[in-house]
Chains A and B, each alone.
Chain A
Amino acid sequence: MNAVASALIPIFGVIALGWAMRRSGLVRKELWLGVNRLSYQALLPSLLFSTISRADYAGLPAGSFLIAVTLGFLVMGAISLAFKPLPVPGPSYTSLFQGGVRWNGFVLLALAGTAFGAEGNALAALVFAPTVPLINVMCVVVLTIWGTSDVKPDARRVGMRIITNPLIIACLLGAACNALGLFQTGPVADTAALAGRAALPLILMAIGAGLDFSALKARPKLLMLSVGLKLIIAPLVFIALGRMFGVEGVALAILAAIGSTPGAAASYVLASELGGDARLMAGHVTATTLLAALAMPFWIWTTSLL
């Protein structure tokens, strides 16, 4: 069994356990709110800070890799916009758009360390800083135009939401500490590392707990299109851009993995808040989470042929 498949088995196993815990009622649906909050507000920032602050970026193609990643999301945004003429209601279109551009970075983080070692970990953690604000702005703009919510977000609120995002702050602080050589060892580094170790199992379980199989019946054709955008078009775009910018080896495999990760659960929250089609979004997240177990190893494997 290759390293990617071996790493993916426990990842999807933990997701399945999260689903089983919620489905069996052992941890009821409403209780997952606290688990999610703890993960996003404290544990994931600790993980990102710990990984980025201590990573050795010397010799890694971080610059070209980040350009390819950022362009990848912009291109996916453009491709998703090209589907606007489809005869579907505005809210459903916003969910198609979110399906095309939003990705689940946590599955990638869980995979990168195990399958690609320290190099993979360092690159995967780096992706969050530029992409979280970019994707959020794109999605909020699209939802503002075509969503049905009466509550329209003001630019200041969106800006504050991005500036105070714990994931972005953690990435920037980690990069600053890395550059300045701060907190490489000692109590702060040890505390962040210890807290960060809990992030991925918890967030993977929360992903599982959020799966909603009944939502797979919502708008099946549109759902197939959004899944195709996420698991077929996006990996092709990311791999092609990686090749264009001379990215290869582990970095190219990480690009393929970024393209083929499942949809992000946050897209469901945004769709609910800003008048998107939340049910279609839930179906998209559920379907892509299930299919990513096949899509991720496939697309990562294709990079070994290039």
Chain B
Amino acid sequence: MTQVIISAFLPVFAIIALGYGVRALGYIPREHWRGVNALNHRLLLPSFLFSLLAQARFDGANSLTLAGVSALGSVLMIALALLLGRLVSNSGRITAPMIASAVMWNIVLSLALAERLLGDAIASAGAAVSATGVIIGAAASVAGFALTSGRGLQAALMKTAKDPVVLACVFGLLANLSGLGRVSVLVGPIEMIGAGSMAVILLSMGAGLDFKALKGRLTVLLSAAVLRTCIGPVVYLGLALAFGLTGDLAVLMAIAGAAPAAAFIYAVAADCDGEAGLTAGMITLTVLTSLINLPVAAAVALSL
């Protein structure tokens, strides 16, 4: 089993390391990644999610259970982040990245790993988990940052409603339900972009790793990392088992739970004048801890 997990996970983490390497060595300098990150948040990740959701073959009760468990997991993670956030700091500006890193797991990385470990057939289940996970996660992240930046509730809601990631999920689901998601002329270009986006998102995730951001605020950073990659898998796998999800579906939930925080929350933090440096630190630390916790969580779920 160890061999299977290593051969499935190694290329994905190698791409992340490659992204870090080309940036750290100055081969593609930091300033050039701004465009890649902008493209990621505004087109690549939305295209990936739109294609995933528009073309998923949802199978009634099972998909609903997966979506429900994912939603419940998100709500629990928000509650835990609020609690932990209060314990480590009284500032809302600290709580916002805590919530974002806890609830917004890295979907691209999780689905890449799940597909490599469990095969292409897991994609539709991944879509069901992502649908509620992303909508709640992205909405909570954007709203949290927008609210704590002092822009007010209305501005926060507007920002959330216009977020490309949230919109992609909503339109993807609508395209799936209306049948438009299977009209190849319409979705062909988006599908092509979505298919290629995985590696770019992983590369820019690596390029975005900021070890300098780990200096100072160690309690906050460690709390966020423990919540995301240690408590997360317990919450998601526990909920999956409690709702009767076993086998590959339980493994998928464990991977989602142990995944690092999504890289795009950095863009959201920067966009909302939030604690971008702290958010970068949280992303970096969760990537590092997930290097160990993701394979462990997958192994535990596989052995059940």
Q: How far is the CB of A13 from chain B (nearest CB, A)?
A: 3
B199 in complex: contacting residue of A28, A32, A34, A194, CB < 8 Å:
A194
Q: A10-B189, A194-B11, A199-B196 are in contact. Are A26 and B28 (CB under 8 A)?
A: no
Is the CB of B182 closer than 8 A to any CB of chain A?
no
Contacts of B199 in A (CB 8 A): 43, 194-198
Say whether A14 contacts B203, CB under 8 Å.
no
Q: How far is the CB of B252 from chain A (nearest CB, A)?
A: 19
**A190: nearest residue on chain B (CB-CB)?**
B11
Is the CB of B247 closer than 8 A to any CB of chain A?
no
Contacts of B188 in A (CB 8 A): 9-10, 13
Q: How far is the CA of A194 from the CA of B196 in the complex (A)?
A: 9
Query: Which B residues from 175 to 209 make CB contacts under 8 A with A?
Result: 184-185, 188-193, 195-200, 202-203
Say whether A42 contacts B197, CB under 8 Å.
no
Q: How far is the CA of A191 from the CA of B34 in the complex (A)?
A: 24
Say whether A31 contacts B34, CB under 8 Å.
yes
Query: Which A residues from 179 to 225 make CB contacts under 8 A with B?
Result: 186-187, 190-191, 194-202, 204-205
Is the CB of A6 closer than 8 A to any CB of chain B?
yes
Q: How far is the CA of A26 from the CA of B202 in the complex (A)?
A: 21
**B200: nearest residue on chain A (CB-CB)?**
A198
Is the CB of B59 closer than 8 A to any CB of chain A?
no
Q: A187-B11, A198-B200 are in contact. Are A34 and B195 (CB under 8 A)?
A: no
Is the CB of B159 closer than 8 A to any CB of chain A?
no
Say whether A187 contacts B10, CB under 8 Å.
yes
Contacts of B200 in A (CB 8 A): 38, 43, 198, 202
B28 in complex: contacting residue of A13, A27, A30, A37, CB < 8 Å:
A37
**A185: nearest residue on chain B (CB-CB)?**
B7
Q: A21-B39, A27-B38 are in contact. Are A37 and B32 (CB under 8 A)?
A: yes
Please indicate which of the listed interface residues B15, B33, B195 has the most CB atoms of chain A within 10 Å of its own CB.
B15
Say whether B185 contacts A9, CB under 8 Å.
yes
Contacts of A205 in B (CB 8 A): 39, 43, 193
Q: A27-B43, A42-B22, A42-B203 are in contact. Are A194 and B35 (CB under 8 A)?
A: no
Say whether A197 contacts B203, CB under 8 Å.
no
Dominant SS at the A interface?
helix
**A17: nearest residue on chain B (CB-CB)?**
B189
Contacts of B196 in A (CB 8 A): 197-202
Q: How far is the CA of A36 from the CA of B140 in the complex (A)?
A: 33
Q: How far is the CA of A115 from the CA of B13 in the complex (A)?
A: 32
**A192: nearest residue on chain B (CB-CB)?**
B11
**A42: nearest residue on chain B (CB-CB)?**
B22
Q: How far is the CB of B48 from chain A (nearest CB, A)?
A: 11
Contacts of A9 in B (CB 8 A): 185, 188-189
Dominant SS at the B interface?
helix
**B28: nearest residue on chain A (CB-CB)?**
A37
Q: How far is the CB of A193 from chain B (nearest CB, A)?
A: 8
B35 in complex: contacting residue of A16, A35, A190, A204, CB < 8 Å:
A35
Say whether B35 contacts A31, CB under 8 Å.
yes
Query: Which B residues from 5 to 21 make CB contacts under 8 A with A?
Result: 7, 10-12, 14-15, 18
Contacts of B18 in A (CB 8 A): 42, 191, 195
Contacts of B43 in A (CB 8 A): 17, 21, 26-27, 205
Is the CB of B299 closer than 8 A to any CB of chain A?
no
Q: How far is the CB of A190 from chain B (nearest CB, A)?
A: 4
Contact string against B for A residues 144-186, beta-carbon threshold 8 Å, 1 for contact and 0 otherwise: 0000000000000000000000000000000000000000001
Is the CB of A33 closer than 8 A to any CB of chain B?
yes
Say whether A6 contacts B22, CB under 8 Å.
no
Say whether B35 contacts A27, CB under 8 Å.
yes
Contacts of B198 in A (CB 8 A): 194, 197-198
Q: How far is the CA of A196 from the CA of B11 in the complex (A)?
A: 12
**A46: nearest residue on chain B (CB-CB)?**
B199
Q: How far is the CB of A208 from chain B (nearest CB, A)?
A: 10
Q: How far is the CA of A195 from the CA of B22 in the complex (A)?
A: 13
Is the CB of B270 closer than 8 A to any CB of chain A?
no
Say whether B28 contacts A42, CB under 8 Å.
yes
Query: Which A residues from 1 to 48 make CB contacts under 8 A with B?
Result: 6, 9-11, 13-14, 16-17, 21, 26-28, 30-35, 37-38, 41-43
Q: How far is the CA of A221 from the CA of B210 in the complex (A)?
A: 53
Is the CB of B211 closer than 8 A to any CB of chain A?
no
Q: A42-B22, A191-B11 are in contact. Are A10 and B32 (CB under 8 A)?
A: no
Is the CB of B36 closer than 8 A to any CB of chain A?
yes
Say whether B185 contacts A34, CB under 8 Å.
no
Say whether B10 contacts A35, CB under 8 Å.
no
**B30: nearest residue on chain A (CB-CB)?**
A34
A-B contact pairs, 10 of them (CB 8 A): A9-B185, A10-B189, A11-B192, A17-B43, A17-B190, A17-B193, A27-B39, A27-B42, A194-B15, A197-B199
Closest 9 CB pairs of A and B: A13-B189, A31-B35, A34-B32, A10-B188, A201-B196, A198-B199, A34-B35, A190-B11, A198-B196
Besides the known contacts A38-B28, A194-B15, 16 further A-B residue pairs in the complex with CB atoms under 8 A apart: A6-B184, A10-B189, A14-B193, A17-B189, A17-B190, A28-B35, A33-B32, A34-B33, A34-B35, A43-B200, A191-B15, A194-B12, A195-B18, A198-B197, A201-B196, A205-B43
Spell out A's residues near B (CB within 8 Å). 6, 9-11, 13-14, 16-17, 21, 26-28, 30-35, 37-38, 41-43, 110, 186-187, 190-191, 194-202, 204-205
